[in-house]
Amino acid sequence: MIGVYIKNIGGVWFGVACAGQQVFSTSFAPSEQETLKNLLSSIPFNVSFQVFPEPSAFAASVLASVKNVYDGKCVSQSFSLATEHLSAYTQRVFEATSLIPTGYVTSYGAIAKAAGGSPRSVGLVMASNPFAPIVPCHRVVSSDFTLGGYGGGLTAKLKFLIREKRGYMSLREIPVGDRKLKFFPVEVVLRKLGKDQGLDCS
């Protein structure tokens, strides 16, 4: 059975659905109802679940990590994600996206080059990400360094990136199988948005 746990931390509702030591979904939202809805929509339809009032020790550690990512902190702890019911392509996209470090972004096109498919197909996977923000789809932007899309809204995506800026100057590149994935400092996006839209990205 999947356990569903929700907690209000600092005025934001964070949630996780997990079984044993495996995470089925994570979410965050301004309201308890929205967070619960997001979690339940990502649970496989043929698996039973129960909402618990207090988190297990494992759920508490996941919630703490979700909160840390939300706050723009670097998180080194990783969790086993339940992806067996997802397509092989979706799994590859999530694996590539999970490699994006705090303080950097990459593009839908770069993910597509590393995982296969097209930028549009990567965007569709991002739109249904059940592990936000542990799988950091907020760090995936358009090739022109505009924000692209985000299920939580572009304002939320921008605030994520502002919290994650680290002052990095140079791009990074890591191998993904026999391909390479490029990362760019988040400041590239913030400068682009500040110039094009007059946003305060300080």
Are 101 and 69 in contact by the 8 Å Cβ rule? The answer is no
- Both 165 and 112 in a single domain? yes
For residue 139, how far is the Cα from the chain centroid?
A: 8
Helices (H), the chain: 32-41, 57-70, 88-97, 108-115, 119-127, 154-164, 186-197
Residue 176 sits in a domain whose CATH number is: 1.10.10.10
- Both 104 and 181 in a single domain? yes
Residue 32 inside a domain? The answer is yes
Nearest to 141 by CA among 191, 198, 73, 88: 191
- Both 55 and 154 in a single domain? no
- Both 55 and 124 in a single domain? no
Tens-digit pLDDT profile for residues 9-55: 999 999 999 999 999 999 999 999 999 999 999 998 888 999 999 99
Residue 202 inside a domain? The answer is no
Of 80, 110, 136, the last residue of a domain is: 80
137 among known catalytic residues? yes
| Gyration radius of the chain's alpha carbons | 17
Tens-digit pLDDT profile for residues 43-92: 988 889 999 999 999 999 999 999 999 999 998 888 999 999 999 999 99
What is the model's pTM? Answer: 0.92
Number of domains in the chain: 2
Here the tokens at position 8 are 């209000």
Tens-digit pLDDT profile for residues 167-187: 999 999 999 888 899 999 999
Instruction: Report how far residue 33's alpha carbon sits from residue 16's, in angstroms, rounded to the nearest whole number.
Output: 13
Asked whether the CA dihedral 90, 92, 93, 98 is positive or negative, the reply is positive
**Residue 49 parent element (H or E):** strand 49-52
Share of residues in the chain with pLDDT > 70 (%):
96
Residue 18 sits in a domain whose CATH number is: 3.30.160.70
Query: Which of the following is catalytic: 18, 74, 137, 201?
Result: 137
3-state secondary structure of 30: coil
